[in-house]
Amino acid sequence: MAYIKTCVGGKAYNHLLPYLEAERNTERNPTSKEVLKFLENVFKDPDRRIKAQQEFKGLKMPYLGDFNNF
């Protein structure tokens, strides 16, 4: 864990530190894969909310279309 702490900096470190502290309180050391998965979840696509709103606004039912199929 000490190696991972030295390799990570900035915003990633700020997100990672509480996660590692919580894991230490459970006396469990997360693997490097678990740490990377955690960081991937935190730093996914920063525009995912905007993209989802754009997709939602783009939904259109065809003229005289069946709402059940929409």
pLDDT by residue (tens digit) across 22-46? 887 787 788 888 888 988 888 888 7
Q: Does a structural domain hold residue 30?
A: yes
In a domain, residue 66? The reply is no
> Which pLDDT score is estimated for 56?
92
The pTM of the full predicted model, rounded to 2 decimals, is: 0.53
pLDDT tens-digit readout, 9-25? 888 888 888 888 888 77
Please report whether residue 49 resides in a domain: yes
pLDDT at position 54 over 90: yes
| Model pLDDT, residue 1 | 66
Please state the domain count of the chain: 1
Whether 51 is in a domain gets the answer: yes
In a domain, 46, yes or no: yes
HSE of 9 in the Cβ direction (CA atoms, 13 Å)?
Answer: 2
Is residue 68 situated within a structural domain?
no
